Amino acid sequence: MIVQLTVLGCYGPYPAAGKACSGYLLQEDGCSLLLDCGNGVFSRLQEHFPFYQLAAVFLSHLHADHISDIFVMRYGLEMAYKKGLRSEPLLLYAPVEPVAEFSRLSYKNAYRVEPLAERGELTVGPFKIYTAPGIHAVSSLAMRVECSKKKFAYSADTEYYPDLVDLARGVNFFLCEANYREEDIRAGLSNHLSAAQAAGIAREAGVDRLVLTHHHPERDPEGAVREAEKIFPKVEAAREGETYIIQEGTNQ
C-alpha cells in the first residue's frame, strides 16, 4: 500500500506572501488524515482532495497558525451535509488546553471533537497514531504514525527534548519543525527547534529521511537545510504542494 504525505502549508507563525501555515495531508489508499489546519490550508486542501471525504483531523496544538482554517472548513462541512456529501461529523482530535480554545472547536454538526491525550494511542482506519508531549508555549503534541510497515513522525512545535528522539526512532520519514537557526538558540529564544537541533534528533533517532518544516516567513528555507545537512545529510525543506511517498527504507 502507498502511504503519502502532501504538504499543504509549512510556514509559521504567519505565512510568507502567497504561502500557507501548517497543514499536512497523510493518506493511505481509502483513508485520509489532515494534520493541522492553519491559515490557507483549507483552500490548498481542495486542490488535492475533497475535504468532505477526510477521515479525521489532528491538531497538534491550539495556536492560530495551526488551527485557523478549522473555523472556515466548518462552513464547507455544513454545506457538504446539505448536499448529501457527508452524513456524520468529521472527527477532530485536539489537546484540551488551552480550555478556552478547545471549547471553540465545536460547531453544529461539523465536527465530533475528541480530546487528544498527551501520551496516547489510537487507530483511525489503517493508521496507528501515538502522541507525546512537546515543550511549547501551549500544550503541543508530537505524533508518530504507523501504517503498512511505514513509519512517520511529526514533531509539531516544540523545543528540544530527549523524548522526541524516542518518538522518532527508526521512522522512515521525519517531518520536523526548524523555525530557528543555531544563532537563535544561542540568543536564548525558546519554544522552537533550530535546524541543527532537528538534524541532531534525526541522526540520533536513526531516521531514513528528514524534512524540515514550519519555515520562518522572513528566511530562506534552504538556509535551514544548509545548517542541518552538516549534521544529517538526508535532509530537505518541505515545499508546499509537494507529495512525498513514505517508503520503508532501511528501518524495517
Question: Given this model, what pLDDT does residue 219 score?
Answer: 97
Question: Given this model, what pLDDT does residue 92 score?
Answer: 98
At 53, list the grid cell.
471525504
Cβ atoms of residues 34 and 15 within 8 Å: no
Question: Given this model, what pLDDT does residue 29 score?
Answer: 84
Cβ atoms of residues 221 and 186 within 8 Å: no
Q: Would you list the DSSP string of 148-198?
A: TTEEEEE--S----THHHHHHTT-SEEEEE--B-HHHHHTT--SS-BHHHH
Question: What residue spans define the domains of the chain?
Answer: 3-246
Question: Given this model, what pLDDT does residue 249 score?
Answer: 73
Question: Given this model, what pLDDT does residue 251 score?
Answer: 46
Full pLDDT tens readout for the chain, 252 residues: 899 999 999 999 999 999 999 999 999 988 999 999 999 999 999 999 999 999 999 999 999 999 999 999 999 999 999 999 999 999 999 999 999 999 999 999 999 999 999 999 999 999 999 999 999 999 999 999 999 899 999 999 999 999 999 999 999 999 999 999 999 999 999 999 999 999 999 999 999 999 999 999 999 999 999 999 999 999 999 999 999 999 987 543
Topology of the domain covering 3-246: Metallo-beta-lactamase; Chain A (3.60.15)
